[in-house]
């Protein structure tokens, strides 16, 4: 089986697995991250096959939808890659990316670090989908999914959250901008990621300015 066939099979596998997923973490999220990753890879020296597989499989079983279990996603991905007869070294690299891509895991200071250029590309691609116009839509979509308030002036954002505090937060959706989304611009790894993030970051700033004006009854 060649790489194109494996990528095609992976796309079909992910589409099927995520057909009933929450709107911010469905197939279309995966597709956007995949496209972002391919775009970023044009200016980076990376294994595009590893990048493609990791981008497609990175949210195959997001822990937040599986009672916090962080082992399901990597296990599902590994089992699938085995059916595609993907080389062990490639599969291992993809699984490591899936294990280390999430924002919440970056908050765990004692976590054993894994680094690769491919991880940097996929991480940037995923985080770009968390900011800008689509990032805002995803933020409120997930907030609605969890029945969270849009905004409550009496509940202030918590900066420097631990991994556990971040996972267990039920704060209003607006707080998420300050607890994560506005922090992502300065955490980009690649030149392309930084450029796109700067534009999307500014869009979020303008959105928040408009939001507060409307909330407070200002023209």
Per-residue model confidence as pLDDT tens digits over 67-124: 656 788 899 999 999 999 999 999 999 999 999 998 765 655 655 688 999 999 999 9
pLDDT at residue 129 in the model: 97
What's the average model confidence in pLDDT over 3-30?
A: 93
pLDDT at residue 70 in the model: 73
CA dihedral 10, 48, 194, 136 (to 10 degrees): -10
The yes-or-no verdict on residue 214 having pLDDT over 60 is yes
pLDDT at residue 164 in the model: 73
34-65 tens-digit pLDDT? 999 999 999 999 999 999 999 999 988 666 65
* 113 or 133, greater pLDDT: 133
- Can you list the domains of the chain with their CATH numbers? 3-215 (1.10.3210.50)
144-200 tens-digit pLDDT? 999 999 999 999 998 877 767 666 678 899 999 999 999 999 999 999 999 999 999
* 208 or 25, greater pLDDT: 208
What is the three-state SS of the chain? CCHHHHHHHHHHHHHHHCCCCCCCCCHHHHHHHHHHHHHHHCCCCCCHHHHHHHHHHCCCCCHHHCCCCCCHHHHHHHHHHHHCCCCHHHHHHHHHHHHHCCHHHHCCCCCCCCCCHHHHHHHHHHHHCCCHHHHHHHHHHHHHHCCCCCCCCCCCCCCCCCHHHHHHCCCCHHHHHHHCHHHHHHHCCCHHHHHHHHHHHHHHHHHHHHHHHHHCCCC
pLDDT at residue 21 in the model: 83
pLDDT at residue 66 in the model: 57
pLDDT at residue 23 in the model: 82
pLDDT at residue 104 in the model: 63
């Amino acid at each position: 089986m060649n790489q194109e066939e494996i990528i095609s099979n992976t796309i079909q596998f992910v589409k099927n697995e995520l057909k009933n997923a929450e709107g911010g973490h469905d197939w279309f999220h995966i597709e956007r991250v995949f496209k972002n990753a391919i775009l970023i890879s044009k200016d980076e020296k990376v294994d595009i096959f590893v990048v493609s597989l990791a981008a497609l499989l990175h949210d195959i079983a997001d822990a937040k939808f599986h009672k916090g279990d962080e082992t399901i996603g990597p296990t599902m991905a590994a089992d699938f890659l085995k059916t595609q007869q993907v080389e062990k070294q490639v599969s291992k690299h993809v699984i490591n990316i899936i294990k280390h891509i999430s924002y919440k895991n970056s908050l765990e200071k004692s976590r054993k670090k894994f680094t690769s250029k491919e991880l940097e590309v996929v991480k940037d691609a995923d985080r770009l989908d968390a900011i800008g116009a689509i990032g805002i839509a995803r933020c409120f979509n997930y907030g609605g999914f969890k029945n969270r308030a849009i905004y409550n002036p009496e509940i202030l954002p918590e900066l420097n959250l631990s991994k556990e505090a971040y996972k267990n937060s039920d704060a209003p959706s607006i707080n998420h901008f300050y607890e994560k989304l506005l922090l992502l611009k300065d955490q980009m790894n690649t030149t392309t990621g930084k450029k796109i993030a700067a534009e999307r970051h500014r869009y979020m700033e303008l959105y928040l300015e408009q939001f507060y004006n409307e909330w407070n009854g200002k023209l």
